[in-house]
Amino acid sequence: MRHRSYFPCLLVLALSAIPTASRLAAQDQAAAGAVNLDAPLTIDKLIPQLANKRVVFVGEMHERYDHHLNQLAIVKGLHDLDASMAIGVEYFQQPFQQYVDDYISGRSTEDEFLRRTEYFQRWGYDYRLYAPIFRYAREQRIPVRALNVPNALVSEVAKIGIAALPEKDRAYLPKQIEPADEAYKNRLRAAFEQHPFSGRDAFDHFVEAQLVWDEGMAESAAAYLSANPKRRLVILCGVGHVVYGSGIPKRLERRTHDTYAIVVNSGEEIGPHIADYLLLGQEKFLPPAGVLGVMLDDKGGEARVTSLQHDGAAEKVGLHKGDVLLAINAQPVKTVADSRIALWDKKPGQRVPVKVRRHHLGGASDLDFEVELGAARNPPANMPPGSSSK
């Protein structure tokens, strides 16, 4: 057995020893309890306890770098014990499975992987958070399953509900969708109130969208487990999809009856039977990213500069508002996502060539600049979906 030098400084609280099938029933009846904080597990003691489960869920807060380091430690620890495993992820959608396979098998580069999976359009968080996990999977040839349903499907259900979906939009709709229990609905209420939905059935549609999300990922995971009976599956996803077992876990169990364990990272409010294990660790941040210091907008197949950061890298070398980005570091740029792919692994102080097209009264000119990237001014550089600052 290899020496496990990859475990972070992390302690683990065992939160629940209730059998999987009765966890949800017990949730409603549980009295207040206590956890001995002076007697936690270390993560290297946790791994063997997870190894007897067919499915291990590791819930994250997407922007927390330490959460992803913990996920990587669990993946490495389980792989060290038994290489017959796969990783299921929320971050990629089912129609893009081939492109995930191409990267893991070595048939495509990392930049091609990000472009073909439309990572920055559809997920958008700083890829540096996830890169170590996918690089390890590629190095070890660990299959990665794209679990998520298309985000357009979830958005459409949130707007009009499942019943009103036209036939053309139902291809990725899960075949079985169990109703939500009251506890599940209550946890969604706070999230719903942060969204601009309105109308008499808006909350019901919001719940249906979440069910499509959870059932869709459970269905995809179940299909993989059925087709690969000798593999275990480690599922990495947002903590809201796994807490109390009422998101993906119970919906996967309904389909496969496989044993599972739920691990959640610290940061979520703790309640009785929220998970089997809680990871306690110090919050860690990514270093600042290297940025051009511009805001971009996609329009007509072009990535146009809409504003520049005062005294930022781009302004210093003479880029203007209205300039159209043509290339960064010799990579063609037509969209905001292209610019993010060109820059995702760059650091402050690195120099990159930038080509722009500038329109003027006499027509347009192509201009070349060398930009010394600045540091993102609000570290950590964990950018949510839809962000276009570069």
CATH of the domain at 364: 2.30.42.10
- Asked if residue 182 and residue 52 are part of one domain, the reply reads yes
Instruction: Note the helical H segments in 142-287.
Output: 151-160, 182-192, 202-227, 248-256
Residue 26 has a pLDDT of 45
Domain boundary among 228, 252, 280: 280
What is the mean pLDDT, run by run of 10 residues, along the chain of 390 residues?
A: 52 60 45 64 91 97 96 97 97 98 98 98 97 98 98 95 94 95 88 76 94 98 98 97 95 98 84 87 92 94 96 97 97 97 97 96 94 79 44
The residue range of the domain holding 311 is 290-375
Are both 69 and 122 inside the same structural domain? yes
Q: Kindly state whether residues 163 and 305 are assigned to the same domain.
A: no
* Pair 98, 223 in one domain: yes
For residues 353 and 303, membership in a common domain is answered with yes
What is the CB neighbour count within 10 angstroms for residue 376?
22
Residue 214 and residue 139 share a domain: yes
β-pair type (331-332, 324-328) = antiparallel
Domain total for the chain? 2
Last residue of a domain, one of 243, 262, 280: 280
Q: Which of 228, 259, 280 is the last residue of a domain?
A: 280
Same domain, 201 and 238: yes
Same domain membership, residue 178 and residue 136? yes
Return d(Cα 249, Cα 254) in angstroms, integer.
Answer: 9
Q: Give me the CATH number covering residue 41.
A: 3.40.50.11550
What tokens does 178 get? 């169990």
Q: SS3 for 7?
A: coil
**Together in a domain, 310 and 168:** no
